[in-house]
Amino acid sequence: MSESLQPIYEEVLRRNAGELEFHQAVGEVFESLGRVVERNPHYLDESIVERLCEPERQIIFRVPWVDDAGVVQINRGFRVQYNSALGPYKGGLRFQPSVTLGTVKFLGFEQIFKNALTGLPIGGGKGGSDFDPKGKSDAEVMRFCQSFMTELYRHIGEYRDVPAGDVGVGPREIGYLFGQYKRITNQYESGVLTGKGVGWGGSRARPEATGYGTVFFTERMLAERGQDLDGTRVLVSGSGNVALYAIEKVHQLGGTVIATSDSSGVVYDSDGIDLDLLCEVKEVDRGRVSDYAERRGRSAEFRAGSSIWQLAASTRVDVALPCAIQNEIDEADARALVDGGVLAIAEGANMPSTPEALHVFQNSNVLFGPAKAVNAGGVATSALEMQQNASRDSWSFELTESKLEAIMAGIHERCARAAEEYGEPGNYVLGANVAGFTRVADAMLAMGVI
């Protein structure tokens, strides 16, 4: 890290003690910004970096609800409205027991740069709760969402802050949240949330967007070396929304996904993952990948608790798409991938590589696409949903998907150009951080000290 940024980083650590994921996200961005602030000293003179690290507003609230047994449960809700220089705060809600303020801040910080990279008018924010939707009845999830929104509604709005889904928050949760917002405010404000159902203000291709966008970005990286996905063998971790649609697009483009995973373990399928069966198990039955292995028969093998990335040590893997959760790839996993001859890694999840893993990738010859750039298709299509809501329009799947593909090409181009400008062609980490930062920083400068 450059000398001029070190004291700012130390102050971030001091003021946000114990928030390790947040420290990691800030540290990774700072690693890229040294030369940017050297070339543009006014960013330092105007304290742009310090201002960027401090969220504009952080909201923490109690979420009481009653479970099916009649017992009162208490969760904690968060919304971090991080930066609104480019547009209303925009970013998802994560419902997962491990969520803390530090998790939400790391995700919100990443979201600022990701959203800037899309070129669209959206600021950065994130929220969530330590509520666990797993194992809860629909009625319990509804009561929780209604209680969560009863506090959140006063902080959000089409022009203020537009939440969406993330881990643990899908169409069911967005439906309950929107319903309660509509009831409390007595207005049908479609643009207040994205990820809505297509029949009531949602965008076509939004469910597919993060996964598809991840694969579109991967294609662009491979094309730089004259390669494509046809005939490749691919690992896709996680089996949530991002993973399922990444698998679908890889298969459409002629690749084969040979393994996937969830928090219980890995399923390796020598015939390639059967996506219809996986969707039935995960989305309809809300089951685990072990159920997939059981129902699939002989070609599939379930390995409890093992790392999907270690498969690269025993079988050919060309592309790795981490689509599960932060820090899912450690140094040993990264080495297994690189030593196994992987061509490209593209981060569908947010911050899935530990700093040590990132170091391994950056010191190798593999193509590496960082989350901010790779998974920005989801939030970009949320911005397209906002456009449709504002104009009371509803676009076709083909039109929306073609816009998503063009946005991903634009993000790839911005990253590649910034990396070249700073003397490291092909370094997408540097390119994404620099291009995202510059767009936000310039807007902040224009708006004065606020």
Coil, helix or strand at residue 418:
helix
Closest CA to 215 of 195, 234, 202: 234
**CB of residue 157 to ligand GLU, shortest distance in Å:** 15
How many whole angstroms separate alpha carbon 407 and alpha carbon 374? 11
Kindly tell me which of 121 and 254 has the beta carbon lying closer to ligand GLU: 121
Q: What six digits make up the tokens of 377?
A: 């298709």
Which residue lies nearest ligand GLU, judged by its C-beta? 92
In the residue annotation, 126 being an active-site residue is answered as yes
Kindly tell me which of 84 and 256 has the beta carbon lying closer to ligand GLU: 84
Kindly tell me which of 166 and 274 has the beta carbon lying closer to ligand GLU: 166
CA distances from 254 to 213, 433, 448 (A): 16, 31, 50
Integer Rg of the chain from CA:
21
Looking at 114, 126, 182, 249, which residue is catalytic?
126
Kindly tell me which of 48 and 174 has the beta carbon lying closer to ligand GLU: 174
**Axis crossing angle, helix 206-224 with helix 241-252, rounded to the nearest 10:** 50
**CB of residue 166 to ligand GLU, shortest distance in Å:** 4
How many whole angstroms separate alpha carbon 146 and alpha carbon 108? 23
**CB of residue 420 to ligand GLU, shortest distance in Å:** 26
Q: Which residues pair with residue 161 across a beta bridge?
A: 89, 157
Closest CA to 120 of 87, 72, 73: 87
DSSP H or E stretch at residue 387: helix 376-390
**CB of residue 410 to ligand GLU, shortest distance in Å:** 16
Kindly tell me which of 236 and 336 has the beta carbon lying closer to ligand GLU: 236
Q: For the sheet containing 367-369, what is the strand order? A: 300-304, 265-269, 256-262, 233-236, 319-321, 344-346, 367-369
**CB of residue 371 to ligand GLU, shortest distance in Å:** 8
Which amino acid type is present at position 327? N
Is-contact 190 184, C-beta < 8 A? no
Kindly tell me which of 255 and 348 has the beta carbon lying closer to ligand GLU: 348
**CB of residue 87 to ligand GLU, shortest distance in Å:** 11
3-state DSSP percent of the chain in helix, strand and coil, to 5:
50, 15, 30
**CB of residue 124 to ligand GLU, shortest distance in Å:** 10
* Binding stretches for ligand GLU (CB under 6 A): 90-92, 164, 166, 194, 350, 378-379, 382
Q: What is the DSSP string of 93-153?
A: EEE-TT--HHHHHHHHHHHHHHHHHTTSS--EEEEEES---TT--HHHHHHHHHHHHHHHG
Kindly tell me which of 200 and 315 has the beta carbon lying closer to ligand GLU: 200
Q: Which residues are catalytic?
A: 126
